[in-house]
């Protein structure tokens, strides 16, 4: 039983990382109507920035963390303003190809600057385990879950109770009418891209200590995040979080107890989740069916 609970908590920890990146994908999908294939690479770049600050420049972990979030925010907004916005008017394929271009570009950039070696990243949380109700849980897992929960709560408060959050929601739901009531729609969309980059950065920095840092850090995590976002509904922030946690726990349990799957086949299982959800309930658990006017 204790083993089972440990697996669940470990699943929640990795699930919260997927949830964070899935939330980033959902934010961008709501704002721009595309899936950002470069989300994982943007997160990897942020993680490298944090790693350089702490390892090569002697910064303490949390100031570096905060600084990285600020840089990621500006970077995300800048990417939207410079390369995404001018291509939004064209076909969907055009924007998708731009995000794929970003994926290739950022991956190359990271390799160019930091090289391809695999690096160990120190964890910000004390090592060791905490005993809760007779179950030993690593501090790393608890810290990861707490950071993501705090982020989600802050975001939710912002969207629900601030004027800028309301404006962002309005810009995403109905840009034309939002513009009429004085919302600066393009800036709101850039803000969405910035916040998505922040969420990605958090996911990357939390994932790096347990999976090591290399230029392809987020490739698999991006697929899990895609699966989580699809599972919860690509337009639903709540869905992204629930989907991420469900997927994290589910994959961890399957990996631990189903011998056929083991550690190797977890990615194909996530792919299967994507396909099955898209076929059975394309809107996801929390999403709404899209009705298109012809």
Partner 1 sequence: MRLRGLVVPVVSFAVLAVVVAVLPSFVSEFRAQQFAYVAIYLIAIIGLNVLTGYTGQISLGHGAFMAVGGYTSAILMADHGVKDIWTIPLAGLVAGAAGYLFGIPALRLSGLYLALATFAIAVSMPAVIKRFEGFTGGGTGINLFGIPELTASLTPVSVLGKELSFNDWLYYLSWSIALVGYVIAWLLLRGRTGLALRAVRDSETAAQSSGVSLARYKTLAFGVSAAYAGVAGSLFAIATTYVNPDTFPVALSILLLVGVVVGGLGSLAGLVAGAVFIYFLPTWSQAVSKSPGAPSVVSGALLIALMFVLPMGVAGLVERFRLLTRRVYHRSGS
Q: Which is nearer to partner 1, 96 or 166 (CB)?
A: 96
The residue (of 109 and 158) whose beta carbon lies closer to partner 1 is 109
Q: Which helix (H) or strand (E) holds 123?
A: none
Half-sphere exposure of residue 182, counting CA atoms within 13 Å on the CB side?
2
Q: What is the CA radius of gyration of the chain?
A: 19
Site string for partner 1, 112-151 (x = CB under 8 A): xx-xx-----------------------------------
Question: Are 154 and 205 spatial neighbours (Cβ–Cβ below 8 Å)?
Answer: no
Segment near partner 1 (CB under 8 A), from 55-63, 109-117, 159-167, 237-245? 109-117
279 belongs to the binding site for partner 1 (CB under 8 A): yes
Q: Site for partner 1 (CB under 8 A): which residue of 5, 96, 166, 170?
A: 96
Does 254 participate in binding partner 1 (rule CB under 8 A)?
no
Nearest to 192 by CA among 159, 226, 160, 223: 159
Question: Quick check: 171 binds partner 1 (CB under 8 A)?
Answer: no
Q: Which residues contact 6 (CB under 8 A, 6 or more apart)?
A: 135, 136, 137
Angle at 45 between CA 152 and CA 109, to 5 degrees: 155
Our CB check for partner 1 shows the closer of 163 and 292 to be: 292
Say whether residue 265 binds partner 1 (CB under 8 A).
yes
Tracing tokens 């770049």 back to the chain, one arrives at 45
CB of 46 to partner 1, least distance (A): 17
DSSP 175-206: HHHHHHTT--HHHHHHHHHHHHHHHHHHHHHH
Out of 194, 209, 215, 243, name the contact with partner 1 by CB under 8 A. 215
Tally of CB atoms within 10 A around 269:
17
Binding residues for partner 1 restricted to 23-52, rule: CB under 8 A: 34-35, 37
108 binds partner 1 per the rule CB under 8 A: yes
Site residues for partner 1 per CB under 8 A: 34-35, 37, 83, 86-87, 90, 92-94, 96-98, 100-113, 115-116, 215, 219-220, 223, 226-227, 230, 264-265, 267-268, 270-271, 274-275, 278-279, 282, 294
């Amino acid at each position: 039983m204790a083993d089972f609970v440990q697996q669940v908590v470990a699943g929640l920890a990795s699930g919260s990382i997927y949830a964070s990146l899935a939330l980033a994908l959902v934010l961008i999908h709501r704002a721009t109507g595309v899936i950002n294939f470069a989300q994982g690479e943007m997160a990897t770049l942020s993680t490298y920035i944090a790693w350089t600050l702490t390892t090569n420049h002697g910064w303490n972990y949390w100031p570096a963390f905060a600084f990285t979030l600020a840089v990621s925010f500006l970077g995300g907004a800048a990417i939207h303003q410079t390369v995404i916005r001018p291509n939004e008017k064209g076909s969907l394929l055009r924007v998708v190809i731009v995000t794929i271009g970003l994926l290739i570009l950022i991956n190359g950039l990271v390799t160019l600057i930091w090289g391809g070696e695999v690096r160990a990243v120190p964890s910000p949380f004390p090592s060791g385990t905490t005993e809760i109700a007779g179950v030993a849980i690593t501090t790393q897992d608890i810290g990861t879950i707490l950071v993501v929960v705090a982020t989600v709560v802050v975001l939710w408060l912002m969207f629900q109770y601030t004027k800028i959050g309301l404006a962002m929601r309005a810009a995403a739901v109905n840009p034309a009418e939002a513009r009429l009531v004085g919302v600066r729609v393009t800036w709101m969309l850039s803000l969405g891209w910035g916040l998505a980059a922040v969420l990605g950065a958090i996911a990357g920095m939390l994932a790096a200590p347990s999976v090591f840092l290399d230029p392809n850090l987020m490739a698999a995590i991006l697929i899990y995040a895609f699966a989580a976002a699809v599972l919860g509904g690509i337009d639903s922030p709540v869905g992204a979080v629930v989907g991420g946690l469900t997927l994290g726990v589910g994959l961890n349990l399957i990996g631990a107890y189903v011998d056929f799957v083991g550690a190797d086949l977890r990615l194909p299982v996530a792919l299967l989740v994507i396909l099955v959800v898209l076929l059975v309930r394309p809107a996801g658990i929390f999403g709404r069916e899209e009705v298109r006017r012809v």
